[in-house]
Chain A
Amino acid sequence: QKEVEQNSGPLSVPEGAIASLNCTYSDRGSQSFFWYRQYSGKSPELIMFIYSNGDKEDGRFTAQLNKASQYVSLLIRDSQPSDSATYLCAVNLDKLVFGAGTILRVKS
């Protein structure tokens, strides 16, 4: 089992909808979780991070943690075509371990 797993997608949503991205992790001791956005050919950009003590909302983005089931979610409300990118989940396992990413396509 991989340490951090994501569905590769693509996940297609219409403009204005909620996009829900998920990530599962294997180590129950993980304390911090990160979501990066990566446009094609560009570097990953940190958009959200949460610690094991709770969820976090920042503008249109919400990161949620389910410790019992060992998964992290990223919700993007009012999705825009500019949100189309690959979203990488990363988990702190004494270093950041990245999932392979989920491709999100927002259709106008």
Chain B
Amino acid sequence: EAQVTQNPRYLITVTGKKLTVTCSQNMNHEYMSWYRQDPGLGLRQIYYSMNVEVTDKGDVPEGYKVSRKEKRNFPLILESPSPNQTSLYFCASSLNRGSYGYTFGSGTRLTVV
């Protein structure tokens, strides 16, 4: 089944404790992206990647890191999480930047206390 797999689904952590949210897709998509979703603000792009070893900032990159060492994987790293990063996070992938729409992962609800 074609899908984007995110883990974990739920995560509660403390301020400053590094964490990684994993994302993997099995559709051979070149484009991958991370979003956060907050009430009233919609989906905001954090980082995106056009291909292996090619990443770039989205609209809200502060406090986040990403890497793209393999085509299928695009982990999101929070090196020192803060409470304002409490949010619902989605990974998405696509054949290219936008012409075909995105396939989303199931989401990660992160709470930073």
Instruction: Tell me the A residues contacting B by CB distance below 8 Å.
Output: 8, 31-32, 34, 41-46, 49, 88, 90, 92-96, 98-101
Q: Are A92 and B43 in contact (CB under 8 A)?
A: no
Known A32-B98, A44-B90, A90-B101: A95·B45 in contact at CB below 8 Å:
yes
Indicate if B74 sits at the interface (CB-CB under 8 A): no
Known A42-B106, A42-B107, A43-B106: A95·B98 in contact at CB below 8 Å:
yes
The chain A residue sitting closest to B103, CB to CB, is: A46
Partner of A44 from the list B43, B97, B109 (CB cut-off 8 Å) is: B43
Interface size of B by Cβ–Cβ distance < 8 Å? Answer: 21
Q: Are B105 and A43 in contact (CB under 8 A)?
A: yes
Interface string of B68-101 (1 = CB under 8 A from A): 0000000000000000000010100010011101
Partner of B42 from the list A43, A88, A93 (CB cut-off 8 Å) is: A88
Indicate if B34 sits at the interface (CB-CB under 8 A): no
Known A42-B106, A44-B90: A98·B43 in contact at CB below 8 Å:
yes
Indicate if B102 sits at the interface (CB-CB under 8 A): yes
Q: Are B90 and A43 in contact (CB under 8 A)?
A: yes
Q: Are A100 and B101 in contact (CB under 8 A)?
A: no
| Minimum CB–CB distance for A40 against chain B, Å | 11
Specify which chain B residues have a CB less than 8 angstroms from the CB of A41 in the assembled complex.
Answer: 88, 107, 109
Specify which chain B residues have a CB less than 8 angstroms from the CB of A8 in the assembled complex.
Answer: 40
Docked CA distance A99–B107 (Å): 18
Partner of A98 from the list B42, B88, B94, B107 (CB cut-off 8 Å) is: B42
Q: Are B90 and A94 in contact (CB under 8 A)?
A: no
Specify which chain B residues have a CB less than 8 angstroms from the CB of A34 in the assembled complex.
Answer: 101
